[in-house]
Amino acid sequence: MELTILMPCLNEENTIEGCVRQAVSFLHDYHIDGEVLVIDNGSTDASAKRALHAGAKVLSCDRKGYGNALGFGLKHSAGKYVIMADCDCSYSFEELQPFLDKLRAGADMVIGDRFAYPMEKGAMGFSHKYIGVPVLSFIGRCCFRTDVRDFHCGVRAVNRDCFLRLGCQCGGMEFATEMIGRAAVLGQNIRQVPVRFYKDQRGHHSHLRSVRDGLRHLKLMWKLLWVSYHERALRSR
């Protein structure tokens, strides 16, 4: 199988069905041998049932957290390539072809860039758009010597075998930074794709906790830098 479209899910009953149907249509329209895999991360609503009804394969991950759900999904994906995206209608699953094209051309990882196009009004809060994401992404670029513009974009793609070699361990939102940082440190081929960013349609607050998650991203970057420095020092002896 060539492609798995992976969606982490926690109480997304208002949007999951539409996202799965879009993803299934994408695979059909582009004649791609693939699957849509939804990882239910402890939903208490009808998310899993609706995803299954729309045509997805649904697995349950008991360990709560964005990173835990994605890590679990990547280990259980059947595709050579995996495109992961949030299922809150903030991204269009009909616009995934550029990600797959770059993977086919040899990229190990492809990250979406939400800042490449004007965002839909209300899609991202002021503090995240002008402070949080740009600042953390700038620090990430400096730390890992990469040109990734948007470290926290919710749509990204990987060559599955290359990803599994990274040994990512974070269970929370900082997983997004960890996978880029580890890939950059190991010299993997990271590419970017501009994506359109739409307003969240779930009808409830985001799972993101700005201050807590921001601090976790910073702590993770420092940890990866420290480990990388010591590994280089040992190799140089």
What is this structure's pTM? 0.88
Residue 219 CA to residue 201 CA, distance in Å, equals: 31
Residue 33 CA to residue 2 CA, distance in Å, equals: 6
Per-residue pLDDT of the chain (237 residues), as tens digits, is 999 999 999 999 999 999 999 999 999 999 999 999 999 999 999 999 999 999 999 999 999 999 999 999 999 999 999 999 999 999 999 999 999 999 999 999 999 999 999 999 999 988 889 988 998 899 889 888 999 999 999 999 999 999 999 999 999 989 999 999 999 999 999 999 999 999 998 765 555 565 666 567 676 666 666 555 545 544 555
Q: Where along the chain do its domains lie?
A: 3-236
For 58, residues 6+ apart whose C-beta sits below 8 A from its C-beta are: 37, 38, 39, 40, 48, 51, 52
Buried b (16+ CB within 10 A) or exposed e, 142-172: ebbebebbbbbbbbbbbbbebbeebebebbb
User: For the domain 3-236, what is the CATH superfamily, name and number?
Assistant: Spore Coat Polysaccharide Biosynthesis Protein SpsA; Chain A (3.90.550.10)
Residue 200 CA to residue 85 CA, distance in Å, equals: 13
